[in-house]
A and B are shown apart, each in its own frame.
Chain A
Amino acid sequence: MTAITAETQRKAPVRPLLLAKDHAVLILLAAVVVWLSVASPAFFTSANILNILNQNAPLAIIAAAGTFVIVSGNFDLSTASIFAVASVCAAWLAVETGNPLLALVAAPVVGMVLGALNGLVVASLRIHSFLATLASSMVYSALAVLITGGALITVDVDGFADFGRGSFLGVFIPVWVLAAVVAALWFLLSGTVFGRHVFATGGNAEAAELSGIRADRVKVLVFVLSGLAAGIAAAIAVSRISSGQPQAGAGMELQAIAAIILGGTSIHGGVGAVWRSVAGVFLIALVGNGFDIMNFNPQLKDLVTGLIILAAVALAAVGRRRR
């Protein structure tokens, strides 16, 4: 009763700073959109919006699934390596079999298997996910190099590029895939028992266990989801550029984690939302888009991106202190 009262008291006055804290990423996203729309007539066009969505679909898919990992109190530093292995496997299979469907389906399957291995290592060996996935990322990267011999696999198979570059009802297929994946993951995290178990595990794993939640199983499943998402992202990317390379996706894991945290998901676990991570991805993406369409000095891109991330974090921190 006391807790409810306290919660009610907290929620009753919707103070601006509280709102800013909870929606910092959306406020900044809106500010950047408004500024870019005013600054460049080329920005707020359907072509450019679809362009931004299409370009960032792979990263947004990885970040959406990565939200589960962070909310459960874990890290996945191997997503880029899984992305690379899935990419080269798909390219290799396409060249060897000539079957684009088989090749592209293989990518998410490979991703899921590698993600499951991560989850099993974390859950069964009780190794911190940061270290476990750091190690597995090295193993997976080496695997990608071994599959390709370090070289590029160019795919010249009819139909292979359709998934990454085709469109349906005037919208790129990767954008449809992004919408479907985000909707499914959003529902899974915020509307199902499994989602509540993920929050509980990230909030306090021991308490979750004592409540009857099989936290280890939750951990395995969130890594499976993360691997699956990396595989789907890889299928899009490898199809889009019709080539597989072992360095594909380098740095993507940190971009995804940055976007997740920028969105407002707690790095300590137990708090977060899929939409926040997707918003974080597109906030960073808008900076890059704005620089390119307005021909700003690319050397300033990282500076501006960093300042925007700092602004979002500061906005959230101010709200938290006032609260």
Chain B
Amino acid sequence: MRQTPGKVLAVVAGVVVLAPGCAPDTSTAEGEYRVAVLAASAQNGYNQAVYDGVVAGAEELGLTVDVKILDGGFDSTTQLSQLQTAATVGGYDGVIVVPHDGPSLAGAFPLANSVPVITVLNPIGPDVDDMEPQVEGVVSTVAVPPSDAAARQAEGVVDHCADLDPCKVTLVVGDLSSPLDIARRDAYRGVLGEHANIEVVSTVEGNYDRYQSLTAVSNSLQSNRDVDVILASADQMTLGAELALENAGIAPESVYLTGGGGTTEAVRAVREGRWTANYLNFPVSMGAAAMEQLANAMTGRPVETVVNADTVGPEGVEPYATRETLAGPEAEDFTGEWNG
């Protein structure tokens, strides 16, 4: 319910921003481009970092680009409307989307006008693990299959558990009504389930929220104080899990604690040894990579249909980070590309 006003505002804001484009292209001088960044939520640190990357990427390419960010308010319908409007009356030369719900957003395609669309973080289409463009109009995806990333996280747990029997694991996933999080959970279970010594004692939802994760993990610890591993899919939830451990009188560093996202807090926690590992994301670099592909599309050059988001970060920074990898000569100055 609380999101409703936000949704209304987002739609109104979208119309206001898009309205000047009712006469497409008239305001664009030659050699200048208009790009819309459709954020799942403009109030979210990750999305803001992608936007920053798009702006920085355009500057790096030497292009004159007018970049507008639209707030999807974490709502599929709002974002779908924004995409349709941007492609019809928006007057944009290209669109970069951070989908809130990739499968739902597929309903906007094919777009009324042929505007190249780049998707970042998640694909647009029914298969959350298929990075190749699934609908006509999407020209490139800058992402990593969530199941692959989750499996890599789980493999780190397997290594840690090698000498433990049983090795008790708590999974903290985002929202199990989302196909993305179901894919992650299934990937975790798939990898961990192959090892008889590993026991998943609890699976809780953290809803990408530190407070909700604190609550859920605190509850789980009531019956599983001897947990060896807490594997979370997002850093906000790992931070909540860390607080839950502290509240329960358990030193976080005594547990294999890991998350995903690569926030500045996560990078610091791994460096300080409070967390064992972290799956780093590079949203600023991903935004820049998306802008590069969009520029290719807008200028008629070849486009890479899939850009592996794990490869776009700073040189020498291993995405599946541990204290050791972050101590490397090329990674020692890396502090994370976003916080949230």
Contact = CB atoms under 8 A, between A and B. Distances in A.
Contacts of A51: 218-219, 222
A35 to B, nearest CB: 15
* Chain A interface bracket (under 10, 10 to 19, 20 to 34, 35 or more): 35 or more
Interface string A251-274: 101100000000000000000000
A251 B220 contact: no
B203 A45 contact: no
Nearest to B215: A55
B176 A42 contact: no
A51 B203 CA distance: 19
A295 B201 contact: yes
Given A138-B9, A241-B214, A241-B239, A151 B339 contact: yes
B2 A253 contact: yes
Given A47-B222, A292-B202, A299 B177 contact: yes
A237 B211 contact: yes
Contacts of B323: none
Interface in A151-201: 151-152, 154, 165
Contacts of A291: 219
B228 interface: no
Interface string B215-233: 1101110110000000000
Interface stretch (B38-46, B86-94, B121-129, B311-319): B38-46
Contacts of A246: 43
Contacts, number: 102
A254 B3 CA distance: 11
A80 interface: yes
A293 B219 contact: yes
B146 to A, nearest CB: 18
A129 interface: no
A298 B176 contact: yes
A81 B119 CA distance: 31
B243 interface: yes
Interface in B163-183: 176-177
A307 interface: no
A297 B182 CA distance: 12
Contact of B43 (A150, A165, A243, A288): A150
B170 to A, nearest CB: 9
A295 B240 CA distance: 18
A241 B204 contact: no
B5 A141 contact: yes
A81 B247 CA distance: 27
A298 B339 contact: no
B48 A292 contact: no
Contacts of B243: 165, 240-241
A80 B2 contact: yes
B6 interface: yes
Nearest to B175: A298
A253 B1 CA distance: 9
B210 A138 contact: no
B337 interface: no
Nearest to A52: B219
B340 interface: yes
B284 to A, nearest CB: 14
B340 A151 contact: yes
A28 interface: no
A37 interface: no
B132 interface: no
B205 interface: yes
A238 to B, nearest CB: 10
Interface string A33-45: 0000000101101
5 contacts: A138-B6, A154-B339, A165-B247, A241-B211, A292-B219
What are the nearest 3 A-B pairs in CB distance? A292-B219, A42-B223, A138-B5
Given A145-B43, A293-B222, A295-B220, 10 more contacts: A80-B2, A151-B340, A165-B246, A241-B210, A241-B240, A253-B1, A292-B202, A292-B204, A292-B216, A295-B223
